[in-house]
Chains A and B, each alone.
Chain A
Amino acid sequence: MSQATAGGDRPAISIERVTRQFGDVIAVDDISLDIREGEFFSLLGPSGCGKTTTLRMMAGFELPDSGTIRLQGVDVTDTPPNRRNVNLVFQHYELFPHMTVAQNVGYGLRLRRVREPELTERVMAALRLVRAEGLETRGAKQLSGGQQQRVALARAIVNRPAALLLDEPLSALDVKLRQQMQLELKQIQTQLGTTFVYVTHDQEEALLLSDRIGVMDGGRLLQVATPRELYERPATAFVADFVGSLDVIPGRVLDVHDGIALVVPTGTAEVDPPNARIVVRAPDAQPGSVVKVAVRPERVALLSVGAHPRDADIWTTTIPGRVERIIYLGNLTRVVTSTGTGQMVTSEHISDEHLAGVTEGTDIHVTWPLAAGFILPERP
């Protein structure tokens, strides 16, 4: 896992070898992570991967069994939540139902003995920032989902925390509203310059919002990287599969030359070998070894049999197959092709006239350029 810290910069939150166990279940398994000052960092993973427990340990609601948590260099491992300068936006908002919006937002300030007129000024400024002005006299129970979300955000940022922790804050909203709130959230973060730690299971959301993403599974932190690195150079098979979708084709290495391997799909004996060939960068591969070749569906093109392939360059992968299913998704069309070895390859195309000749049952070649394919790392 990469854990780069810009030279000399003190991380906003530093987690060192933290483990947390619930009974027999290891929720968080020996995680180390530095979150930089001012960055939008996401913890991404399926439910039960330990991301929320990690966030709750940062907030102080869970204590690690071992390891250290530092906030701006100060050890807060055993500090109770009320004495940590971080604020959490809860998944279900947890607005106080017996208070108005203004009372909710001002709650933390009143505990810190902030007096009028500063109290009202800061409450109003926070509500303006989240575009919830005009709601201040409303009861917390009289708000729509989106409004509750905004108020919960205002209630947290009004305290000017060193870092804002967000636990799937948009998961309860419908799609349209969620997309709008994603943009606003990013804008607010940029405007405030506050460190955001964002927990989500939605890889699209993580890619869209984050400066860096940490992917978790089974309590372990698998990879920390920028969205682009994560998508294009996943460190493990799990990351590759979880972030975006993936075609995986098992094969056998025939030959390696200058770090580029010629691979035939496993069980290719039945088809004409020259027609089924995968060309992939694999500096470590040995001839005869078994590998898994992966490619993103949007990088796969379809080539009609007639057009193939004398002039196609030798670096292009081509596998013959037959179109099994065509799934129309509006802007995109997804094509599932079965290769001669029974392997399914899914490809995604812009829905346009180039697909006119492709119908279910057509014999076809799936093909992708050298840059698109990669060998799936052996680690799980």
Chain B
Amino acid sequence: MIAPRRRHQRRPWAAAVFMAAVLAFLFAPLVVVVAFSFNSIPRMSLPMAGFSLEWYQGLIDDPEVRQALGRTVTAAIITALVAGPMGVLAAIGLQRLSVRVRTTVMGVLLLPIAVPGLLLAIALAVYWQGVLGQRYSLGAAIIGHILLALPFVILTMNAAVSGFRFSLLEASRDLGATPWQAFRTIMLPLIRPAMIGSALLAAAVSLDEFIVTLFVGGRETTLPVLVWGRIQRSVDPSLNALATVLLVATTILALLAARRTSVRA
């Protein structure tokens, strides 16, 4: 009993080194991007010259960036507002199904996670222009974002809803509540944290979505597409600043979402 334990502890530094290597691999590119966004000269090599916010100032002064930012935020908000409630309803509906049917339906609903984004983008593009004959627009991109965000919302809400005691609704009905009153006064307050969390998650998905937006967004570019377009021409620290803004925004949304969804009433 003692020998294996000793063997585990023999080289604790090996595990630490491995862990550090993994973290470095994951985060080194991010560190580089963020660091150079504060560099005072437009050259991305060491040593760094000095600290400066000029690239961020440049972003604010750039009308193209401001416009793209506006579209990105619009898309994120609409995605959250549509995918959130849809996911909640889907999760509640799933609870009414038998376990076998539920598992199947759940699998189908989560399919967009497994399908490559490129495939979805092509399908959406073909459908939008070929079948519906519509022009590519931000609206089309937002529909794509909702599609991509829905599985995540359903997944989070399903966890929250399956932990909900439906017998509480019976107690509420017994005390005189209509089905809607029971939902509004009992279920809604109890699943609200998870609802807000999953809406934030949907916003985070929308915020850095690229492929679908590129395919069906037309000229109404969002920030990720704008960055991509500019990288084609030249790489300059203003892109670093833009990437840093996106990084911070998605991280904050993801953290907020995680806090909401992990703490369950």
Chain A interface (Cβ < 8 Å from any Cβ of B): 59-61, 80-82, 87-88, 90, 92, 94-98, 107-108, 111-112, 155-156, 159
Choose from B170, B175, B177, B190 the contact partner of A98 (Cβ within 8 Å).
Answer: B190
Decide if A98 touches B265 in the complex (CB within 8 Å): yes
Decide if B177 touches A111 in the complex (CB within 8 Å): yes
Decide if A112 touches B186 in the complex (CB within 8 Å): no
Decide if A81 touches B174 in the complex (CB within 8 Å): yes
Provide the residues of chain B in CB contact with A87, threshold 8 Å: 174-175
Provide the residues of chain B in CB contact with A159, threshold 8 Å: 175-176
Decide if B168 touches A96 in the complex (CB within 8 Å): yes
Decide if A94 touches B175 in the complex (CB within 8 Å): no
Complex Cα distance, B172 from A275, in Å, reads 66
Q: How far is the CB of A164 from chain B (nearest CB, A)?
A: 11
Complex Cα distance, B174 from A108, in Å, reads 9
Decide if A94 touches B171 in the complex (CB within 8 Å): yes
- Annotate B145-180 by CB proximity to A: 1 below 8 A, 0 otherwise: 000000000000000000001011011111111100
Q: How far is the CB of B123 from chain A (nearest CB, A)?
A: 42
Provide the residues of chain B in CB contact with A94, threshold 8 Å: 165, 167-168, 170-171
Task: Say what secondary structure dominates the interface of chain A.
Answer: loop
Q: How far is the CB of B33 from chain A (nearest CB, A)?
A: 43
Besides A81-B173, A88-B171, 7 more A-B contacts (Cβ < 8 Å) are: A61-B173, A80-B173, A94-B168, A94-B170, A96-B168, A96-B172, A155-B175
B181 CB-CB contact with A under 8 Å: yes
B107 CB-CB contact with A under 8 Å: no
Decide if A61 touches B170 in the complex (CB within 8 Å): yes
Provide the residues of chain A in CB contact with B185, threshold 8 Å: 107
Provide the residues of chain A in CB contact with B167, threshold 8 Å: 90, 92, 94
Most chain A CB within a 10 A radius of its CB, from B173, B174, B177, B185: B174
Q: How far is the CB of B120 from chain A (nearest CB, A)?
A: 39
List 23 interface pairs A-B (beta carbons < 8 Å), by A numbering. Answer: A60-B173, A61-B170, A61-B174, A81-B173, A81-B174, A82-B178, A87-B175, A88-B171, A90-B167, A90-B171, A92-B167, A94-B171, A96-B168, A96-B186, A97-B265, A98-B189, A107-B175, A108-B176, A111-B175, A111-B176, A155-B175, A156-B175, A159-B175
Complex Cα distance, B172 from A95, in Å, reads 9
Provide the residues of chain A in CB contact with B181, threshold 8 Å: 111
Complex Cα distance, B174 from A60, in Å, reads 8
Decide if A82 touches B174 in the complex (CB within 8 Å): yes
Q: Which B-chain residue is minimally distant from A152 (CB atoms)?
A: B171
Provide the residues of chain A in CB contact with B170, threshold 8 Å: 61, 81, 88, 90, 94
Q: How far is the CB of B170 from chain A (nearest CB, A)?
A: 6
Q: How far is the CB of A371 from chain B (nearest CB, A)?
A: 47
How many residues from B make CB contacts under 8 Å with A? 18
Complex Cα distance, B191 from A98, in Å, reads 11
Q: Which A-chain residue is minimally distant from B170 (CB atoms)?
A: A61
Decide if B265 touches A108 in the complex (CB within 8 Å): no
Q: A94-B167, A98-B190, A111-B181 are in contact. Are A82 and B173 (CB under 8 A)?
A: yes
Within 8 A of A (CB), among B184-237: 185-186, 189-190
Complex Cα distance, B181 from A112, in Å, reads 12
Complex Cα distance, B190 from A94, in Å, reads 13
Complex Cα distance, B171 from A90, in Å, reads 8
- Annotate B249-265 by CB proximity to A: 1 below 8 A, 0 otherwise: 00000000000000001
Complex Cα distance, B177 from A107, in Å, reads 9
Provide the residues of chain B in CB contact with A96, threshold 8 Å: 168, 171-172, 186
Provide the residues of chain A in CB contact with B189, threshold 8 Å: 98
Q: Which A-chain residue is minimally distant from B165 (CB atoms)?
A: A94
Complex Cα distance, B93 from A141, in Å, reads 28
Q: Which B-chain residue is minimally distant from A90 (CB atoms)?
A: B171
Provide the residues of chain A in CB contact with B178, threshold 8 Å: 82
The 7 closest A-B pairs by CB, nearest first: A108-B175, A94-B171, A111-B176, A81-B173, A88-B174, A82-B176, A98-B189
Decide if A112 touches B168 in the complex (CB within 8 Å): no
Q: How far is the CB of A84 from chain B (nearest CB, A)?
A: 8
Q: A94-B165, A98-B265 are in contact. Are A59 and B172 (CB under 8 A)?
A: no
Complex Cα distance, B173 from A96, in Å, reads 12
Provide the residues of chain A in CB contact with B171, threshold 8 Å: 88, 90, 94-96
Q: How far is the CB of A133 from chain B (nearest CB, A)?
A: 21
Q: Which B-chain residue is minimally distant from A91 (CB atoms)?
A: B167
Provide the residues of chain A in CB contact with B174, threshold 8 Å: 59-61, 81-82, 87-88
Provide the residues of chain B in CB contact with A59, threshold 8 Å: 174
Decide if B265 touches A82 in the complex (CB within 8 Å): no
Complex Cα distance, B171 from A155, in Å, reads 10
Provide the residues of chain A in CB contact with B165, threshold 8 Å: 94
Complex Cα distance, B174 from A82, in Å, reads 5
Q: A61-B170, A90-B167, A98-B265 are in contact. Are A112 and B190 (CB under 8 A)?
A: no
